[in-house]
Amino acid sequence: MSSPQSWPELNSTLADCRLCPRLTVWREEMARLKRKAYRDWDYWGRPVPGFGDPQARLLIVGLAPGAHGSNRTGRMFTGDASGDFLYPALHRAGFASQSDSTRLGDGLELRDAFITAVCRCAPPDNKPTPAEMQTCQPFLRAEVQLLTRLQGIVALGAIGFNGILAAYRQLGHPIPPLAFGHGVFYPLGPGLPWLIGSYHPSRQNTQTGRLTATMFDAIWQSVRQHLD
């Protein structure tokens, strides 16, 4: 894929992507079968584009859409437990206009932030293969290049962390191996944004106490300090 030169071009290319047969079948099957609670929904059932402020200084990178979350609503981290934990934290930190994210057109706007994922299609068991993530890399690289004011990145989970590092390395930046950890901070090099790692706000992490609201708020407070 040649690098898109605008957001409309990128999102149009993304929406038409069927390069990963397993993911294409899965996302469309989930959209057809639906979850009982969402029988009246017209599922998105396609690759999910990034969402937010195109002039953002902050990029947030997750793993992949949920089968009945973003694959249903068509917006990153919208309609599932991860988003229910993420957006209130972003609202408290001043990056989101409201704390809830339920559907396209619900009034939510991001301020100085842009949210994306390493993989754009809902994968079975939330586990895309390395080959599928590699196939999706051009979309992440294109977003990085279009976000011309980018100063910092928060990676939600190790896969998001390693995925954004891979994107920059593929763009020709010799970034050394870096270890993921919650709250770790890395400057990526001259002219590049800094990177902060965070545990993913998955139900598994939040319900077990591995990631608490206080821990998560500390990430966004650190982001604010570095941006401001």
| Per-residue pLDDT reduced to its tens digit, 83-116 | 999 999 999 999 999 999 999 999 999 999 999 9
Closest CA to 116 of 73, 149, 84, 164: 164
pLDDT attached to residue 45 = 98
Phi (first) and psi of residue 159, to 5 degrees: -70, -45
* Mean pLDDT to the nearest integer, 26-45: 97
DSSP state at residue 47: P
Domains by residue range for the chain, with CATH:
7-227 (3.40.470.10)
How many Å apart are CA 20 and CA 132, to the nearest integer?
6
Name the one residue in this structure whose structure tokens are 């590049």.
192
pLDDT attached to residue 3 = 73
SS3 197: strand
pLDDT attached to residue 228 = 78
How many Å apart are CA 80 and CA 127, to the nearest integer?
17
Answer yes or no: is pLDDT of 123 > 80: yes
Q: Where are the beta strands (DSSP E) in 119-225?
A: 152-156, 185-187, 194-198
Torsion angle, alpha carbons of 50, 52, 57, 59, to 10: -40
Q: Measured in Å, how far apart are the chain's first and last C-alpha atoms?
A: 36
pTM: 0.97
Where does residue 157 fall: left (phi above 0), alpha (psi -120 to 50 degrees), or beta otherwise?
Answer: left
* Mean pLDDT to the nearest integer, 114-139: 97
* Mean pLDDT to the nearest integer, 19-44: 97
% of residues, the chain, pLDDT over 90: 97
